[in-house]
Structure 1
Amino acid sequence: METPNMPNSGDDEHAVIAHSAYGPDADALFKVMEPTLRGLPFRPAHVVVRRGDSVSRIDL
């Protein structure tokens, strides 16, 4: 996992956590990971699912 540095916005403290997973079926991979991702306390949070040239954003 990477945690990139965020610019200081002067607002409350926050972090960005990025995790990448690769496989032949993005939807099946997300389906397996979804319960764990939804159980994490980080909010706001979203997942980006890429299928070839199409991209979907799923808010958690």
Structure 2
Amino acid sequence: MNKAVAVKRIFNVEITEILSRVIKVNAKDEQSALSRVQALYQNEEVVLGSEDYRNTEFEVVE
């Protein structure tokens, strides 16, 4: 009698957490506003944390 044997495999599961915050800035145009907020973020003057949590996604990856 042959019994079916379940073969276990290893899977890579990627967890992605999404953080998001809207920053209000005064600027002459959209590009200047983007540059200003990017500079604030890069200089760690804006740091996203748990209060900025929006979503978590799970995906099986190769």
Higher strand share: 2
TM-score, normalised on structure 1? 0.26
> Whose RCO is larger (CA < 8 A, sep 6+)?
2
TM-score, normalised on structure 2? 0.26
| Structure of larger gyration radius | 2
